């Protein structure tokens, strides 16, 4: 800064002339007006006042502004400046390596809206950086994890974390889902309980509104629809464990008595058969029973005894007709006498039969001869009489010998 120099100097006892003082005042005025950086202190009135040029070689005072206001150029003002509220605007350019940081700004944190109309790179090729988008909820964010090469969305349970309001989402690689997946290619707001979603074409879904009660889902040319149940086949009759028979083209009838109007009834499963178990039918032409089994046959004299070995006798019963056959071995005798009868027939011989039931027998070891016998069953009993055909007499106890063998067969009618 320049040094002030005056024309006249004075010392004690010197008489001061007015013209000399005026010359010194002129020197001071010239110094102030021509020396940069020299202003009058009383130009400012308060803390925060600014001194600004109002014209060439002229300064003025700009009063202190309002808190948080910013100094803004304004050519309409005397000083060319004005204190004004801060305004918003676009960031039109950011130099490489520069961070946009609004969280460290003093005062209220402003909101920043970025209108980006060009490509944005985060990091560089082969050297990525993590990018986080935070939400208003603590802990919820969307993170691009550069090292893991994946997008991580952490949201609040029960809320949508990702919504695509319009457009398509294309996934060209495998999609692994650990939770539920809702696929909406329809207006899901129109779907109600009972609706059916079906494929109406390749990669296309369609909605079929729910049908009415008791309707069934039918298909015509690949398109499903609801329809009333067709008449189908009806069932009639109330016979428990009955046989279903043909009633008409649309009906089945349950009957206790069924008629088979065919030629051959064939049962083909090995081990099966037609079981008739004592049905006791009174119909003349009805087969009501079929049975096979074994029976214990003996030889019983009027007095004394005849001991036989284990008999090998069996029978077949078809309806009420019984055929019995077997072999009887005499092991020992004890003074047998009188008429000898064949005992142990499996069923009672029917009484008042139109014909006399009969059969045949043959003895071995009775004397020196092998003797043929006729066998007749006694009505209302389970015994049969043996007649020697060579002598036309009834077999007697004295005719029986130890070690004798009797082979026989007889067919008779029983009571049922």
Q: Could you identify the residue written with the tokens 């980006």? A: 116
Q: Hey, where are the domains in the chain? A: 18-82, 290-413
C-alpha–C-alpha distance, residues 19 and 169, integer Å: 97
What average pLDDT does this structure show over 250-254?
A: 80
Please write the tens of the pLDDT for every residue from 222-239.
889 999 887 777 777 766
Burial of 345 (0-12, 13-18, 19+ CB in 10 A): buried
C-alpha–C-alpha distance, residues 140 and 134, integer Å: 6
C-alpha–C-alpha distance, residues 282 and 154, integer Å: 87
C-alpha–C-alpha distance, residues 196 and 392, integer Å: 93
Please write the tens of the pLDDT for every residue from 312-327.
799 999 988 899 999 9
β-pairing, 251-255 vs 234-236, is parallel
User: Looking at residue 150, what is its pLDDT?
Assistant: 87
User: Looking at residue 244, what is its pLDDT?
Assistant: 77
Q: Binning pLDDT at 50, 70 and 90, where does residue 161 land?
A: confident
User: Looking at residue 95, what is its pLDDT?
Assistant: 67
Residue (of 364, 359, 361) closest to 405 by Cα position:
364
Q: Binning pLDDT at 50, 70 and 90, where does residue 386 land?
A: very high
Q: In what helix (H) or strand (E) does residue 145 lie, and over which residues does it extend?
A: strand 141-145
Cβ of 340: how many Cβ atoms within 10 Å?
Answer: 23
pTM over 0.85, yes/no: no
Query: Which positions ≥6 away from 195 have C-beta within 8 Å?
Result: 207, 208, 209, 210
Higher pLDDT, 335 or 80: 335
105 pLDDT above the threshold of 70: no
C-alpha–C-alpha distance, residues 228 and 225, integer Å: 10
Please write the tens of the pLDDT for every residue from 331-376.
999 999 999 999 999 999 988 766 667 899 999 888 767 889 999 9
Residue (of 145, 148, 105, 112) closest to 129 by Cα position:
145
């Amino acid at each position: 800064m320049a040094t002030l120099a005056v024309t006249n100097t004075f010392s004690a006892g010197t008489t001061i002339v007015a013209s000399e003082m005026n010359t010194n005042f002129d020197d001071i005025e010239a110094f102030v007006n021509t020396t940069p950086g020299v202003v009058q202190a009383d130009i400012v009135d308060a803390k925060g006042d600014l001194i600004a040029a109002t014209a060439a070689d002229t300064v003025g005072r700009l009063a202190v502004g309002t808190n948080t206001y910013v100094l803004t150029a304004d050519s309409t003002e005397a000083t060319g400046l004005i204190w004004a509220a801060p305004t918003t605007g676009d960031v039109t350019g950011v130099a490489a390596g520069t961070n946009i940081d609004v969280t460290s700004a003093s005062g209220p944190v402003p909101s920043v809206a970025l209108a980006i109309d060009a490509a944005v790179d985060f990091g560089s090729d082969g050297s990525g950086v993590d990018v986080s988008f935070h939400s208003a909820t603590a802990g919820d964010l969307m993170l691009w994890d550069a090292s893991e090469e994946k997008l991580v969305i952490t949201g609040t349970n029960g809320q949508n974390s990702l919504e695509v309001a319009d457009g398509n989402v294309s996934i060209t690689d495998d999609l692994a889902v650990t939770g539920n997946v809702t696929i909406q290619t329809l207006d899901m707001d129109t779907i109600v309980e009972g609706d059916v979603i079906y494929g109406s074409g390749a990669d296309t879904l369609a909605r079929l509104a729910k049908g009415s009660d008791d309707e069934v889902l039918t298909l015509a040319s690949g398109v499903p629809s609801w329809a009333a149940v067709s008449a189908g086949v009806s069932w009639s009759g109330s016979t428990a464990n009955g046989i279903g028979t043909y009633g008409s083209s649309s009906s089945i009838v349950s009957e206790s008595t069924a008629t088979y109007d065919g030629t051959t009834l064939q049962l083909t499963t090995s081990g099966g058969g037609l079981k008739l178990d004592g049905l006791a039918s009174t119909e003349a032409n009805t087969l009501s029973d079929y049975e096979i089994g074994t029976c214990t046959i003996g030889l019983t004299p009027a007095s004394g005894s005849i001991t036989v070995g284990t008999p090998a006798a069996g029978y077949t019963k078809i309806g009420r007709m019984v055929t019995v056959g077997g072999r009887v071995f005499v092991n020992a005798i004890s003074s047998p006498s009188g008429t000898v009868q064949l005992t142990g027939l499996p069923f009672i011989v029917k009484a008042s039969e139109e014909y006399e039931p009969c059969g045949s027998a043959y003895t071995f070891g009775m004397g020196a001869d092998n003797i043929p016998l006729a066998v007749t069953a006694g009505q209302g009993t389970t015994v049969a009489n043996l007649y020697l055909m060579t002598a036309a007499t009834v077999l007697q106890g004295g005719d029986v010998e130890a070690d004798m063998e009797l082979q026989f067969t007889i067919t008779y009618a029983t009571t049922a």
